[in-house]
């Protein structure tokens, strides 16, 4: 992506947890199922993570009688600083590019997520990633922001 038909949206959040804990949560199925593409009324039915460059993920949440499927491939895994993956809602699609950059701030850290996507997805994707980062904080035992 990165051409005239895409935008880069950014969402940032501070965490009390260390950069390592925040980074590892993205690649740990037991933690990822609590926040990654999880909604308040949905039920996780599948979380598969092959945490290596070139490895992929498949996360499926049942929302009513519909399965919301999320697919991607890991492009960069640089613990605990940077995670880059593709993201699509259709199996086999090229997908968007999502980059997660984590900087240590005192005892905690700050995460900045950048999603390269179509302009029409800016608002829903920003809301979705904000909800996901709030869920990540909850899964790490942190208070709401």
28 has pLDDT over 90: yes
All domains of the chain in start order, with CATH: 7-139 (3.30.530.20)
The secondary structure of the chain, three-state, reads: CCCCCCEEEEEEEEECCCHHHHHHHCCCHHHHHHHCCCCCCCEEEEEEECCCCCCEEEEEEEECCEEEEEEEEEEEEECCCEEEEEEECCCCCCCEEEEEEEEEECCEEEEEEEEEECHHHHHHHHHHHHHHHHHHHHHCCCCCC
Residues in the chain: 145
Percent of the chain with pLDDT over 90: 92
Could you tell me which residues come within 8 angstroms of residue 123 by beta carbon, excluding any fewer than 6 positions away? none
Note the pTM of the prediction, 2 decimals.
Answer: 0.93
- Give tens-digit pLDDT for 36-50: 999 999 999 999 999
pLDDT of residue 4: 62
At 86-109, the pLDDT tens digits run: 999 999 888 999 999 999 999 999
């Amino acid at each position: 992506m990165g051409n005239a038909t895409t935008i880069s949206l950014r969402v940032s959040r501070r965490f009390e947890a260390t950069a390592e804990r925040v980074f590892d949560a993205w690649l740990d199925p037991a933690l990822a199922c609590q926040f990654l593409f999880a909604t308040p009324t949905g039920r996780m039915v599948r979380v598969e993570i092959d945490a290596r460059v070139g490895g992929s993920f498949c996360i499926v949440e049942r929302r009513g009688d519909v399965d919301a499927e999320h697919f991607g491939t890991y492009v960069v895994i640089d613990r605990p600083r940077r995670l880059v993956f593709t993201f699509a809602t259709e199996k086999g699609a090229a997908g968007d590019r999502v980059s997660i950059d984590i900087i240590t701030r005192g005892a905690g850290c700050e995460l900045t997520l950048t999603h390269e996507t179509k302009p029409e997805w800016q608002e829903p994707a920003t809301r979705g990633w904000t909800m996901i980062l709030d869920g990540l904080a909850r899964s790490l035992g942190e208070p709401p922001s």
